[in-house]
Amino acid sequence: MPQYYGANRPFLMPAKEIEFSDAPMYYPPTYFETGSGKENKEITERFVTLTNKYPAEGLAAAKNARGHLNPFFVYVQLLYSDSEAPDKILELKNENYWRAIHTYNNKAHLIEAFNWLNTQKNMYAKLKELSPEEWLKMGNGIYTLSHLRATFMIKGLLGGDAVPYYDFLFNKYKNIKKAVALRDKQIDQQNKEQRKLERQKKI
């Protein structure tokens, strides 16, 4: 199913997110982008249903989708036209935005997801309870963590531009600072080991 959302070439993105390109989409488009609205709705609902049954597999699959086609984010967008009761829609949005921030997204998705989760009392509390290790786990995806003292990159932005919410997140969630310190220590240790290996090769 991840192939439907572009897992064969997950690094491709819409041209509007690439300054130097005039094309509407880098070739080739995904099945999602060439499929009908009905097909996309059916596949996405099936993806979420299977994730409910197999959570680990669903999250792993979503990490392989293209950033602008995160299936959990797509599902949340479908809820706006759904006939479910408001309370049920709220529950589904919370659950799938939460899944989304733990998988692969573009910047716009992440900002929307965090905007939403921060306004929901129970989800805000859940974010505040994340341990430093859990923040780091969220940050480990297709990209690798950059030096977090410079920028804390949430999933999907790792190695990219500075996150607009950097200071906002730091002030809101104290364990991010601890995650930064922990990751800095890991990076320092990796650098020391690398330098040691390089010295050994020269001997």
Residues 164 and 137 in one domain: yes
* Secondary structure class of 152 (helix, strand, coil): coil
- Total domain count for the chain? 2
pLDDT in tens, 142-164: 333 333 333 344 433 333 444 44
φ, ψ for residue 14, nearest 5 deg? -60, 145
Helices (H), the chain: 31-34, 37-53, 55-62, 71-79, 86-101, 107-119, 121-128, 132-138, 166-172, 174-202
Does residue 76 carry a pLDDT above 90? yes
Same domain, 81 and 137: no
Residues 14 and 77 in one domain: yes
Tell me what percent of the residues of the chain surpass a pLDDT of 90.
33
Task: Flag whether 38 is in a domain.
Answer: yes
Last residue of a domain, one of 98, 120, 142: 120
**The predicted structure's pLDDT at residue 119:** 84
pTM: 0.76
Q: Which of these three, 120, 141, 167, is where a domain ends?
A: 120
Same domain? For 111 and 143 the reply is no
Query: 14 and 76, same structural domain?
Result: yes
Q: Which domain holds residue 73?
A: 1-120
82 is a domain residue: yes
**Listed residues 120, 151, 169: the one ending a domain:** 120
Instruction: Provide the pLDDT for residue 141.
Output: 44
